[in-house]
A and B are shown apart, each in its own frame.
Chain A
Amino acid sequence: MSVVGVAELAAMVPDGAKLVIAKDESGVAMAAALALIRRGVKNLHLVTVPVSGLETDMLIGAGCVATLETSAITLGEFGLAPCFSRAVKSGSIKLKDATCPAIYAGLQAAQKGLPFMPLRGILETDVLANRPDWKVIDNPFESGDRIVVLPAIVPDVALFHVPLADRHGNVFIGRQRELMLLAHAARSTIVTAEHITDDNLLEDEARSGSVIPALYVNAVAHAPRGAWPLGFGDAYPADAAWMSRYITEARTPAGFARMLEAALQGPGARLAA
């Protein structure tokens, strides 16, 4: 494992890949997503854990997404996701609407090498009615107890942003433990990091419990401010001015194209080039 550039990292996501990404609070690899857009990746099957915002909206707006498996797409306090709404109305993406714990459960099945996972709730919803890949079984230990079973979600690639990685490919995630689930479930994991350390993160017992070991990690890229225009933990807030402009502009394809151009000139530009 060596530390690669962001563009090189993005090249590791093939067209048509099932790509799993993190929610905003967990660490979004926006610089890498912009590099994917610049490269012109096509036909992604995007899985959001369990929700997403700007990253998904921009990938959809740029025409990179064929299928979207999600529990919700929103830009939070800034408003509804404009490209997502447009794509739903036009039918240009295939939707697999889910509910948050179902996405976790599908990944947990993959993590355990199981074909499926049972989950409470969901029965009698239109979410279930529109998911022919989800089944209902009778609890084998208690008849009359109907329960939903969900197939494993096995992503080709997991992509997210972390505070710190070392040169061996060990990745520190702090309390964002669901990133561990992404890495365990996916066939390969690629990561952008705010900082790269020369230390070996596994040698520090105080934080090794919050480290995804290199065993799961295929590549790391150094990407300072790699979540911009989104915020990243306590390191920096979302770029509110940019986000507010995006919400308005991206309501039209031409406006979105302008915002994408601006993003490609932003702090991540040098990284994504």
Chain B
Amino acid sequence: MSAVAEVAARAAGPTEVLIHSIAGLLAGSRHVAVGASSPIPGAAALYTRAVSEGATRVSVLGSRRHNAFTNGGVELFDLAAQGRIDAFFLGGGQIDGAANINLVGVGSYPQMEVRWPGSFGSAYLYYLVPRVILFREEHTRRVFVPKVDFVSAPGPRDDGIYRPGGPHALITSLCLFDFDRARKRFVLRSVHPGHTVEEVRDNTGFDFDCPAQVPATPAPDAAALALIRGQVREEIGETYPKFAAQLAAV
């Protein structure tokens, strides 16, 4: 067996499908930034960099090796406002069908029933980064709600606000949605291997557009798996050692 075939002998796990799919969404980016607590997006960005032959720059917050910023935390936000960050990731404890996201909590603010960390840079970056990829592994009606309890960052609206940025796609443990900014709706693009459109529908609390035929999300091939299990795992392990250890154990 060749070295690549040997490393890739195990079939792609769900995390590897996610990394590979997110990397597909980043293709062509000049500069991808990755925020806090984002191991899978970080791995995807490092994958994109590895296959871009130097065309894609990656800045992983919290990393010392994969982050060239020398002006402190404010540098990311300054770059974003200048249009010098092409892609960024945001999560959400709740996300609704208009792509509003909530990183603050469940219930009425401020004494919420469940409190999450807080809005981070979302209230700003969602407006300014052209390709914001929403990433949330848990695909349940608890997360994908009809309407968020707190708007950390609003989806696109016709309000005349300066907004060169916004949501580009939403990826979960079940599927990949595109976001149609003109119609302000999610459109199901593909369902991950082993899952169905019905499962997506049953676990999504908002309406979305669904074509008659929904393809399966492509799984990474042997070369892609070898890259994820080798260089990418090693690079992301600097910032997320626990994650890298889990990735190795998949």
Contacts and interface: CB of A to CB of B under 8 A. Distances in A.
Interface of A: 23, 25-26, 49-51, 70-74, 76-77, 80-81, 84-85, 88-91, 95, 97-102, 104, 108, 119-128, 130, 144-147, 175-181, 233-234
B73 A72 contact: no
Contact of A181 (B62, B74, B153, B162): B74
Contacts of A25: 61-62
A117 B235 CA distance: 38
Contact of B64 (A77, A126, A144, A233): A233
Contacts of B53: none
Contacts of B113: 89
Contacts of B151: 124-127
Give the secondary structure class of B's interface: loop
A85 B150 contact: no
Give the secondary structure class of A's interface: mixed
Interface stretch (B41-49, B122-130, B206-214): B122-130
Most buried by B among A99, A102, A175, A233: A99
Contact of A84 (B69, B115, B125): B115
A125 B119 CA distance: 10
A218 B157 CA distance: 49
A125 B77 CA distance: 18
Interface residues of B, number: 49
A234 B64 contact: yes
Nearest to B39: A77
Given A119-B124, A121-B125, A123-B159, 14 more contacts: A73-B117, A74-B37, A77-B240, A88-B110, A88-B115, A89-B112, A99-B123, A99-B124, A101-B121, A121-B126, A123-B161, A126-B150, A178-B72, A234-B64
Nearest to A84: B115
A145 B154 CA distance: 18
B84 to A, nearest CB: 14
A176 B110 contact: no
B73 A23 contact: yes
20 contacts: A50-B73, A50-B121, A70-B118, A71-B118, A74-B37, A74-B118, A76-B37, A77-B240, A98-B118, A99-B122, A100-B124, A104-B74, A108-B74, A120-B124, A121-B127, A124-B151, A125-B153, A127-B151, A130-B110, A175-B70
A50 B119 CA distance: 11
Contacts of B125: 121
B71 interface: yes
Nearest to A50: B73
B127 A120 contact: yes
Interface in B80-138: 81, 103-105, 109-113, 115-128
A80 B120 contact: no
B54 interface: no
B36 interface: yes
B110 A178 contact: no
A178 B73 contact: yes
B160 interface: yes
Contacts of B240: 77
Most buried by A among B73, B81, B128, B159: B73
A196 B234 CA distance: 34
Given A91-B110, A104-B73, A177-B70, A97 B36 contact: no
A3 B243 CA distance: 41
Nearest to A75: B117
A122 B124 contact: yes
Given A51-B36, A72-B103, A146-B161, A100 B120 contact: yes
Contacts of B118: 51, 70-74, 97-98
B152 interface: yes
Nearest to A147: B162
